[in-house]
Chains A and B, each alone.
Chain A
Amino acid sequence: MTHLVVDQLKFGYTERMIIDGVSLELRAGEVLVLLGANGAGKTTLLRLIARQLKLESGKMLLDESDITKLSRRNLAQQIALMPQHENQTSTLTVHDVVSLGRMPHCGWWAPLSNADQSRVEDAITATGLSSFRNRSILELSGGEWRRMILARAIAQDASVLLLDEPIAGLDLKYQYEVLDQVRQLTKQNRLVSVVTLHDMNMAAMFADRVAILHDGKLLAIGKAEEVITSALIREAFDVEVSVMRHPTLGTPLVVPLHNFSKTRSQTGGESSYSNAEF
C-alpha cells in the first residue's frame, strides 16, 4: 500500500525560501493536484520529492522508508517524474524513449525481457502513440512529446507518479485522455499521483484533493470545493474570480472576472479589426 509522507520540507537559496515548511500525506489510489501561481514552488516540490534537488530540512517517507536514503535506481523504481521540459539532443524514436522507462528495472545493460517489452507497448498504446512509435522524437509536436514522456513514466511502473504540467500544450481531447489515463492508473494500481496544473476547472474535475501553494508555503489543501474558492484564488493568484458550480458535475467552476474592454478600446477595438479584415 503506497503511502507518501512529506513533512516540513524546506528548500531555498541564500535569502529566499522556495519551499517553506510544506507537509503532505498521500495514500494509495489518491490523485493530488498542485495549484499555484508561477514561481509558487510547484515544480520545485515535485523535484524535491524525486530527489532532484537537495532538501534543506524535512522528512520524506515512502511506505515508511526514508526517500533520501534510497539508491537512485531504487528510487526510480518507486517514483517516476514527468518533467516539464527535456533536452532535444537526440533522434531516438518514441519507442526508444519509452523503453528507457524500463531502465530502473532492467539496469544499464540487460536487454528488455518480454514482460518489459509488453509494459512499453501498453504505455505506448495507452497514450495513443502507436502510430508514432518509430518516429524520431524531434519530429513530434509539443503535445505528442508530452504524451511520450507520460508513456515513459507509465512504463517506469512506479508507485508514485509526479507529473509536472502533463497537459500543457495538449488540445482538450488529449487533456481529457491523459488525465483519464492518470486517474485510471492511479485507481487501478493503487498509485499515488501528484500533478501540477494551471487549469483550476480541470483540477476540480480531476483531483481527489487539491493543494494550493503560495510563496513556497502550503496555503490550503482539501477537496476541490473547499480549496477552489474566490478568496483563496485571490490570495494565491492575485486575481478576481467568481466560483460557481459545474452544471452537471457539481464541481467548482472558476469564472474569471477580468475585464479586457479597456485594452480593447485602446487598440482600436474588435469591430475595427473585423472591418479591416473582413
Chain B
Amino acid sequence: MYLVLIAGLILAFTSVASLFVGAIAISPWDAMEFLLRDASGLTSTERTILFELRLPRMITAILVGSSLGIAGVGFQALFRNPLADPYIIGASSGAALGVTIAIMVGWQAALFGLRTTAVAALLGSLLIVAIVMFIGSLSGRSNSLSLLLAGVALSSMINSIVSLLMFWSEEKIMVIFAWLMGSLANNGWPSIASTSLIALIGLVILWGLSRPLDSYLLGDVASQSLGLNLAWFRLLLVAGASIATGAAVSSAGIIGFVGLIAPHMARWTVGPKHVWQIPMSACYGAMILISADAIARTIVAPTELPVGSITALMGCPFFLGLLLFRSRSSTVLGDAS
C-alpha cells in the first residue's frame, strides 16, 4: 500500500512539473502559486497557457494513461498473456473506423462535452468489442481464446476497411492520420468531465474484480471451484477493460505501449495481487504518458510531436527487453520481484 502511495506522490510531482515544461517556459513557483492560490502573478498569456492548455492536457494525460494502464492489466489477465494490450480485441480498430467514418461524412455528434471524434471513437470501440464478444460466444464456450481469435480476425478486417476509406478520402487523410497518431491536445473541461466519468466506471469495475482476477490466473478449473462464474466474470472484465480503453481512445486517439508497459512495471513493484497492481498500473500509465507528452512538446519545440510516436519509441525497447527477459524466465504473468 505504501508503494502505491509513493507512486501517487511521484505522479503528483510529475504532473505539476509537466505544467511548466513546454515551448513557453513558466517558472515552477508561478505554476504552483497558480494551482494553490491565485493567478495574479501570471501574465494573461501564461494564464491561458496554464489553465486552457497545459492543465487540461495534464489531466487528460492522467486520465488516458491511467485508463490504458488498468485496461492493460484487465486484458493481460483475461488472456493470461503478458503481451496483451488494451487494443487486443479490437477497441483501437473500432475507434479508428468510427473516427474515419465520422470525419469522412462530416458527422457532428458532440455529446456530453465530448467532441465528435471522441463520440465516434467511443461508439466504434465499444461496438466492435461487443461484436467480438458476440462472435466469441458463438463458439458455444465463451472462453478467452475464442475472444482473442475473434478480436484479431475482426481487427485485421476493420484495419483494412480503414485503410481503404483513407485511400478514398484523400483530402481528409491527414486529419484521420493525425487522430490515429494520438494526441492529448484540444480536450476542454466538459470533455474531461465526461472522460473522467467513463474512466471511473472502468476503474471501479476492474478494481472490484481484483480478488477474482487473482483466482482466474490459477486457471478455469481452480477459479470455478472457488465460486467464480466464468461467463459473468469474463463479461464484466471485458466490459471494464473496454470502457477504460474507450475513455482513453475517445480523448487521445490510439496511443500504443502504455497499456502494455504499465501493468508490467506495476507487477515488478507491488507484485501480482490485483488489488495493488491495478492502482499501481494506473499511476505508472499516467506517469508514462505525462512524461511522453512532455518530451513530445519540448524536444523539437515549438513543433509538437505526436505523443503516440513517443510512447511507441519508448515502448519498443521495453517490449524487446521483455521478450529477452521472458526467454530466461518461466514466469508468464508473474514477473514481479
In the bound assembly, the distance between CA atoms of A136 and B217 in angstroms comes to 14
Report chain A residues within 8 Å CB of B218: 86-87, 89-90, 97, 100
Task: Say if the beta carbon of A207 comes within 8 Å of chain B.
Answer: no
Chain B 301-323 interface 0/1 with A at a Cβ cutoff of 8 Å (1 = within): 00000000000000000000000
Which single residue of chain A is at the shortest CB-CB distance from B271?
Answer: A91
Taking a contact as CB atoms under 8 Å apart, the answer to whether B224 and A72 are in contact is yes
Chain A 183-202 interface 0/1 with B at a Cβ cutoff of 8 Å (1 = within): 00000000000000000000
Which single residue of chain B is at the shortest CB-CB distance from A82?
Answer: B225
In the bound assembly, the distance between CA atoms of A103 and B21 in angstroms comes to 47
Of A76, A85, A91, A136, which is in contact with the most chain B CB atoms at under 10 Å from its CB?
A: A91
The binding surface of chain B is classed by DSSP as: loop
Given contacts A72-B229, A109-B210, contact A52 B224 (CB under 8 A): yes
Taking a contact as CB atoms under 8 Å apart, the answer to whether B272 and A92 are in contact is yes
Report chain B residues within 8 Å CB of A85: 219, 221
In the bound assembly, the distance between CA atoms of A152 and B215 in angstroms comes to 11
In the bound assembly, the distance between CA atoms of A271 and B167 in angstroms comes to 79
Q: B75 → chain A, closest Cβ, in Å?
A: 14
Report chain B residues within 8 Å CB of A149: 222
Segment 51-101 of B: residues with Cβ below 8 Å from A: 80
Task: Say if the beta carbon of B214 comes within 8 Å of chain A.
Answer: yes
Chain A 203-218 interface 0/1 with B at a Cβ cutoff of 8 Å (1 = within): 0000000000000000
Taking a contact as CB atoms under 8 Å apart, the answer to whether A86 and B214 are in contact is no
The binding surface of chain A is classed by DSSP as: mixed
In the bound assembly, the distance between CA atoms of A182 and B211 in angstroms comes to 27
In the bound assembly, the distance between CA atoms of A29 and B214 in angstroms comes to 32
Segment 247-287 of B: residues with Cβ below 8 Å from A: 267, 271-273
Task: Say if the beta carbon of A230 comes within 8 Å of chain B.
Answer: no
Task: Say if the beta carbon of A138 comes within 8 Å of chain B.
Answer: yes
Taking a contact as CB atoms under 8 Å apart, the answer to whether A76 and B225 are in contact is yes
Task: Say if the beta carbon of A156 comes within 8 Å of chain B.
Answer: yes
Interface residue count on the B side (C-beta < 8 Å): 30
Task: Say if the beta carbon of A108 comes within 8 Å of chain B.
Answer: yes
Q: A123 → chain B, closest Cβ, in Å?
A: 14
Taking a contact as CB atoms under 8 Å apart, the answer to whether B219 and A104 are in contact is no
In the bound assembly, the distance between CA atoms of A51 and B221 in angstroms comes to 10
Given contacts A77-B227, A87-B80, A91-B336, contact A103 B215 (CB under 8 A): yes
Taking a contact as CB atoms under 8 Å apart, the answer to whether B226 and A89 are in contact is no
Report chain B residues within 8 Å CB of A74: 227
Given contacts A97-B218, A108-B212, contact A91 B335 (CB under 8 A): yes
In the bound assembly, the distance between CA atoms of A108 and B273 in angstroms comes to 13
Which single residue of chain B is at the shortest CB-CB distance from A93?
Answer: B271
Segment 79-105 of A: residues with Cβ below 8 Å from B: 79-81, 83, 85-92, 96-97, 100-101, 103-104
In the bound assembly, the distance between CA atoms of A189 and B335 in angstroms comes to 40
Query: Within the complex, which residue of A72, A79, A90, A96 is in contact with B228, where a contact is CB–CB below 8 Å?
Result: A72
Taking a contact as CB atoms under 8 Å apart, the answer to whether B222 and A90 are in contact is no
Task: Say if the beta carbon of B331 comes within 8 Å of chain A.
Answer: yes
In the bound assembly, the distance between CA atoms of A85 and B221 in angstroms comes to 9
Given contacts A90-B214, A109-B208, contact A83 B226 (CB under 8 A): no
Query: Within the complex, which residue of B221, B227, B333, B336 is in contact with A72, where a contact is CB–CB below 8 Å?
Result: B227
Taking a contact as CB atoms under 8 Å apart, the answer to whether A138 and B221 are in contact is no
Q: B36 → chain A, closest Cβ, in Å?
A: 36
Segment 55-80 of A: residues with Cβ below 8 Å from B: 71-77, 79-80
Taking a contact as CB atoms under 8 Å apart, the answer to whether A89 and B225 are in contact is no
CB pairs A–B below 8 angstroms (17 shown): A51-B224, A77-B227, A81-B225, A85-B221, A86-B221, A87-B217, A87-B222, A88-B332, A89-B334, A90-B333, A90-B334, A91-B267, A92-B214, A92-B273, A96-B214, A100-B218, A108-B211
B residues lining the A interface (CB < 8 Å): 80, 208-212, 214-215, 217-219, 221-222, 224-229, 267, 271-273, 330-336
